[in-house]
Amino acid sequence: MRTIRLLVEYDGSAFCGFQRQTNQRTVQGAIEAALTRMTGEVIAIVGAGRTDTGVHAAGQVISFVTSSAVPVERFVVGVTGLVGADLTVQRAQEVPATFHARYSAQWREYRYRLLVRPQPSALRRMSAYWPGHLRLDVPAMQEVWPFFQGRHDFSVWENQNSVSEDPVCQVHEARMVAVGDEWHLTLRADRFLYRMVRNLVGTLVMVGRGQLDVGMVRGLLSGESARDYIVAAPAHGLCFEAVGYDVPWDGAPD
C-alpha cells in the first residue's frame, strides 16, 4: 500500500463545498471519482481543510491510500484531466504511511480578498468581496486585525450552529496588506473553527463601517460581549492558501 498526497487548487464557485454530498458536485466527490477511475479501486481521500461552498483553494492538500501501481506523477495530469478546468492538481508525492492530510498539518493559512473602491468589479465578483459604496475606516481596521494574533478563545466567531469542544486556536500571523485596490487579510493558525475566518472578516468590515469600535472588538475577544450582531463575510472572498507539514515537498524544510 502507498500513501499519496496531492497539492490541489480549485475555483470554489464550481463546487458545493469540499465534503462529499449526495447528488451534489463537491471537491471530495470529484477527486475520489477521478482517482477511482485511475486506480480501479474505491478511493477515499482526506483533506487538510473542509472548505464551504464558494470558498476557493490555492493550496489544499489531500491524501489517500492505494495499492495500485499508477506512477505518482500521473496523478497530476490524470486527476486534472478527469475533473475539469475548475480543479487542478499541482503536485503529487508518495509520503510515509503515517502521513495524514488533516492530522499531520502543523498550520493552515487562509487569505480573504476585500475590494475597496467606489464600484464593484465584474471580473472579480466571485473572488473578492466588495462591501459597498461606503468608505471604510481602514486605519481602524488596521488597528483591529492584529488583535486576533496569538492564542485566544474564538468561540464568539464560530458558526452558531456548531460548538467545538476546544475553541482555543493559536493564530501565528494576522496580516493586512494592500494589493492594488484590494486589502488582503491573511490568517495563519494551528487550526480554525467552522466559519471563523469569515466571521472575523465580517467583524473587521463592521469596524470599517463604524458599526463596531476597537473597545467592542476587545470585548468580543475577551468574551465580555455577545456575538449576536456578527455577520459572516461572503464565501467567495476566501481562499485556502497553504498548509504546513514536517514532511516537505522538495526535501527542504516546509
Active site residues: 52
CA 212 to chain centre: 25
Backbone conformation region of residue 83, classed left if phi is above 0, alpha if psi is from -120 to 50, else beta: alpha
| Interatomic CA distance for residues 204 and 112, integer angstroms | 11
Q: End-to-end CA distance of the chain, in Å? A: 25
Stated as kind and residue range, the H or E segment containing 186 is strand 182-189
Provide the pairing of β-strand 182-189 with 46-47. unpaired
* DSSP letter, residue 119: S
Give CA separation, 160 vs 116, 148, 216, 229, 231, in Å: 28, 19, 19, 12, 11
Q: Which residue has the cell 514532511?
A: 247
| Interatomic CA distance for residues 247 and 254, integer angstroms | 7
- In DSSP terms, 89 is beta-bridged to 8
Report which of 5, 10, 79 is spatially closest to residue 47, judged by C-alpha positions: 5
Please check whether residue 10 is in contact with residue 60, taking contact to mean a CB–CB distance below 8 angstroms. yes
